[in-house]
Chain A
Amino acid sequence: MTQEQFMLGNEAIALGLLEAGCQVLTSYPGTPSSEILPETVKLVQAHRLETYAQWSTNEKVALDNAFAAAVAGKRAACCMKQVGLNVAADSLLSAAYIGIMGALVIISCDDPGPHSSQTEQDTRLMARLAKVPVLDPANPQEAREMARLAMQLSERYQVPVILRPGIRVCHARQNIGFGALKSVPQKASFGKDPARWAATPKFRLELHGRLNEKLDQISAHFDTLAHHNFHTLAPGRSYPLGIIAGGVPYAVVRDLLDEQKRSDVPVLKLGAPYPFPRKLADSFTAACDKVVVLEETDTLIEYLLGEREKTLGRLSGHVPRQGELVPEVIGAGLNKAFESAGLPPLTQQQDPQVQALTAGLDLAVRRPTLCPGCPHRASFYALRKGRAKTIFTSDIGCYTLGINLGGVDTCLDMGAAITMASGFYHAFAQDQVHQPIIATLGDSTFYHSGTAGLLDAVYNGARFVLVILDNEITAMTGMQPTPGLGLRADGSRGKPIPLERVVKGCGVDYLEVVDPYDIKAMQKSVKKAVAYTQTPDGGIAVIIARHPCVIAYRDRAIAVKRKVTVTEDCVACGHCRDRFECPALGIDEQSGRTGIDRQICADCGLCIQVCPKKAIVEVEQA
C-alpha cells in the first residue's frame, strides 16, 4: 500500500535510509539534522523493523560507532549538523582510507545563512578534504533517493559516502508517497585483517593509493549518473553562457528559468559533485563561452572546474561569498552573469518600492529570548548580579541567549566554556592577575565535550567557577535526552549517568547542586564558589544548577504556579525588564509601569524575587 505524506526533508531522508536497508543509525542532535533519527525510530517502530538507533554523546562517538558496524558488514548511517563533522573529522579522514565492508552513509546537514549555526561551512569541502564521495540533494524527494544511492555506492566501493542536505532540504516539506519497509538480514561478522583495520603508516600509503583508485572509478560513475548529474545542452549547439548548479541553488535556478521560459541558457546539474565528474563537466563547458557556478555555500565546483577564464561565480564577484543563496540573490547573480555574456536579463519581480516602504516602517527586530519561566534566566540573573568585572565564558545551547542578560561573554564551540575559562585563567595568572571567571554550559554540552577540558583544567591547576546548567534535556535542538536522564532513542531505559559522578571523576573537589529557581540560594552558592577559587588550596568550583526545562517538562518544571501582578509600588525603573529580561514583562501603556503579558506568562513567579521595590506580587488567591 502506498501512502502520500507532506513529509519533512529529514523524514524523507529517514525513509530513504530505511528503504536502503539501514541497520544501524547513530547521531548527535544539531539543527538542521535533529529530526532524522527520531523520524527513523518512528518508521522503525511503525514497520516493526530491526534497525538499531542511538543518540551518541557526540559526533565523533556517533561516527565511530557507525563505522564499526559497517566494518562488521552492516549497513550503517550516522547523522549530524555540519559543525558536528568537525568534531568527527579525525575519524572521517581515517575511515576513508580504511574503508568498510558493509555500508557507511554520513549525513552532514549544512546551514547556509547561517540560521542556527556558528559557521556557514560547506560539507562538500570536508568531503574533498577526506576524499569521500558527496551527494547534494535539491529537495526532500531527491534527498530520499540520494540516501538510497549513498548506501548503494558505499557498499559497492567500500568507502564512506556523505549526503549533504542543506537546511532548505532538511526543513522543507514535500508530498512523498511510500510503501512497506523491510528489514535486511545482513549479520555482523568481523574478518581479522590488522593490516587494514589497524593499518600502520606503511600500509596507510597503500590504502591511500587504493582510495585514489576508488575515487577515479566513482568519478567515472558520476559522469553517467544521469538522474542526478545531467545537462540540457542541445547536441551540436554552442552557447554564450551556461549555468552549473547543485543542491538547493539548482532547484531555484530551474524554477526561475522555467517560469521565465529561458531555454536559451543550458544548465548542468551536479547533484554528485565529488569526486568530480570531469568528463561531463568538460563536455558542458566546451559548448559554452562562459559558465556561471551556483553552489552552496563555498566554492567546490568552482575550484574543480578547469578553465578559470571561462568561469563566473564567487571568485569573479558574480555570486556573494557569504550568506544563503535565496531566490532573489540567485536572480541578481544570474543577471550579472547574463550581462557579462550579453544575454537579456531575467525580469526581477522584486519591487524596489516595497523595500523602501518596509524600511520606513522601522519594524522592531524580534530577537530570540529564553522562554518565560526558563531556569537559565534565573541562573544568569543570579550569576551576573554585582559581577561586572567577571569574564563569563559560555557555550552553545538555549543558554547562549543568556547574552541578553549580560551573562555570556564568549561562545566558540561546544565545550569551550571550560577550555576558554582555563585559557583565560592561565593568561591572567601569568601576569599575577587574579581574574574572576565563571563558565556556563548545558548538561548536553557537558556530556558532549566537557570532560576533556575539565580534566585538563583540574590537572593544570586552573581556577574558575563552572556552572553546569542542568535542565535535564537537550533543549535547543528539540528536546533530545541526555545521558543523565537514562532514556534512550527508542524510548527504552538506559543507565543514567549523573553529572555529579562525571564531575567528581574529573578530579573536581568542590561540587554543589542548587535549584536556580531559588535565586537567593543560587547567589549564595556562587559567592561561596567564587571564594573557594581564591583560597590558597582552592581550585575549580563546580555548581550544578538543576531545574527542568519548562517546555520539556511542562507539568513538573513549575511546581507551584504563581500568578503575578504589578502594584503601584512599581517605579518603572526597568530593572526587571533589563536585567531579568523576561518576554512577559513589558510596559503597561496606561500606567507607564511594568505590565505582565498574561498571554505568555508562565506563572513561574521568579520576577517576584527580582523586583527591588517588591512591586511584583502574587495575585491573592480568592
Chain B
Amino acid sequence: MMENMNIIVSGLGGQGILFMTKILAHAALSQGCDILGAETHGMAQRGGSVISHLRIGRHQGTLIRAGSAGLLLSLDENECYRNLAFAAPGARLFVNLDRQLRPAVDAYLKDKAMTWHSAPATAIARQINAPFSTNLALMGFFAAFDNDLFGADRLRHVIDQLSPERFRQVNFKVFDAGLAYGNQLKP
C-alpha cells in the first residue's frame, strides 16, 4: 500500500460506479489510510457520464487534479478516453472493452509509459447471468493485476462485507470470473 494514490472510476449512470468506489475506499480504510472521494449525483445519473474521484492519503481537497491519477478504472470505453487527462505519467488503466483501444490512444499511452489492460467485463458478467454486475467483473479483473495496492483477497473480503445478503454469492461469482480472466492474461 502506498502513501498517496489518486484513483478515477468512470462510466455511465446506472453502471454501479459508486459501489466500485466504495469497495476501493473500504479496502483502503481497512489498511488504516485516510480517504477522500467525490461522486456524481443528480441529473447525470439518468444515463449521463459519471465519474468518481478517490484520493488515498493526506489531502484536503476531494477532486483529483489533471495529470495526477495513478489508477483509472473505466466501465465504458468512451468515458475512459474522456477522462484520460487525469492520468499521471506511468498510470495504470483498466477498461471494460471487447476490442482494441483506438490507435491514437494506444500510441499516447505508450508514449507516456502508461500501461493498460482491457477485459470484456460486460460479457463476463452476462455469462454468469448477472448483466448488472459489470462493475464487479472489472473489479475482479483489476484485482488480478493488483499486487501492491489492495490485493485480490482484501478486495474479496470487502465485497463480502459490503454486499447485501441476497447478492453476495452472485457478486463473488462475477468477481472471481473477472479475476480468472485477468490471471489467464498475465504473463
A residues touching B (Cβ–Cβ < 8 Å)?
Answer: 4, 6, 31-32, 115-116, 138-139, 168-169, 171-175, 248, 250-252, 254-256, 326-328, 331, 348-351, 353-355, 357-358, 360-361, 363-364, 366-371, 398, 401, 476-478, 583, 599-600
Contact = CB atoms under 8 A, between A and B. Distances in A.
B99 to A, nearest CB: 13
B167 to A, nearest CB: 15
Given A6-B26, A6-B29, 14 more contacts: A6-B37, A171-B41, A172-B62, A175-B35, A250-B60, A256-B65, A326-B63, A327-B64, A354-B87, A357-B104, A358-B82, A361-B105, A364-B78, A370-B46
B65 A349 contact: yes
B40 interface: yes
A350 B67 contact: yes
B113 interface: no
B61 A248 contact: yes
Contacts of B87: 354
A6 B22 contact: yes
Give the interface centre of B42, B48, B104 by most chain A CB atoms within 10 Å: B42
A31 B41 contact: yes
Contacts of B45: 368
Contacts of A357: 84, 104-105, 108
Interface string B21-47: 110011001000011111111111111
B71 to A, nearest CB: 16
A255 B63 CA distance: 10
B68 interface: yes
Contacts of B40: 115, 171
A350 B85 contact: yes
A205 B108 CA distance: 67
B34 A175 contact: yes
B85 A171 contact: no
Given A168-B38, A357-B105, A476-B43, A252 B81 contact: no
A252 B105 contact: no
Nearest to B41: A171
B62 A351 contact: no
A138 to B, nearest CB: 6
B47 to A, nearest CB: 5
A327 B29 contact: no
A335 to B, nearest CB: 13
A250 B13 CA distance: 30
B65 A401 contact: no
B9 interface: no
Interface in B51-109: 59-68, 78, 81-82, 84-85, 87-88, 102, 104-105, 108
B131 interface: yes
B7 interface: no
B163 interface: no
B137 interface: no
A255 B61 contact: yes
B139 interface: no
B108 A353 contact: yes
B49 interface: yes
B39 A351 contact: no
A351 B46 contact: no
17 contacts: A6-B25, A115-B42, A171-B39, A171-B41, A172-B38, A175-B34, A252-B61, A255-B59, A327-B66, A353-B108, A355-B85, A357-B104, A363-B78, A366-B12, A368-B13, A368-B46, A369-B46
Contacts of B85: 350-351, 354-355, 358
A353 B25 CA distance: 31
Contact of A351 (B12, B22, B67, B82): B67
Given A361-B105, A368-B44, A175 B81 contact: no
Nearest to B34: A175
B6 to A, nearest CB: 11
Contacts of A327: 61, 63-66
A500 B64 CA distance: 49
A398 B13 CA distance: 14
A115 B42 CA distance: 8
Pairs of residues from A and B, 8 with the lowest C-beta to C-beta distance, nearest first: A349-B67, A116-B42, A251-B61, A327-B65, A251-B60, A173-B37, A172-B62, A31-B42
A367 B26 contact: no
B168 to A, nearest CB: 20
Contacts of A478: 41
Give the most central of B39, B64, B85, B104: most A CB within 10 Å. Answer: B85
B48 A368 contact: yes
A350 B29 CA distance: 29
A361 B107 CA distance: 13
Nearest to A328: B66
A127 to B, nearest CB: 23
Contacts of B48: 366-368
B81 A173 contact: no
Nearest to B24: A6
Contacts of B25: 6, 173, 175
Contacts of B49: 366
A283 B88 CA distance: 39
B39 A173 contact: yes
Nearest to A363: B78
B38 to A, nearest CB: 5
B47 A361 contact: no
B129 to A, nearest CB: 13
A556 B122 CA distance: 28
A168 B52 CA distance: 12
Contacts of A31: 41-43
Nearest to A347: B67
A174 B37 contact: yes
A100 B113 CA distance: 62
A252 B63 CA distance: 8
A351 B29 CA distance: 31
Interface centre among A326, A364, A370 (most CB of B within 10 A): A326
A50 B3 CA distance: 42
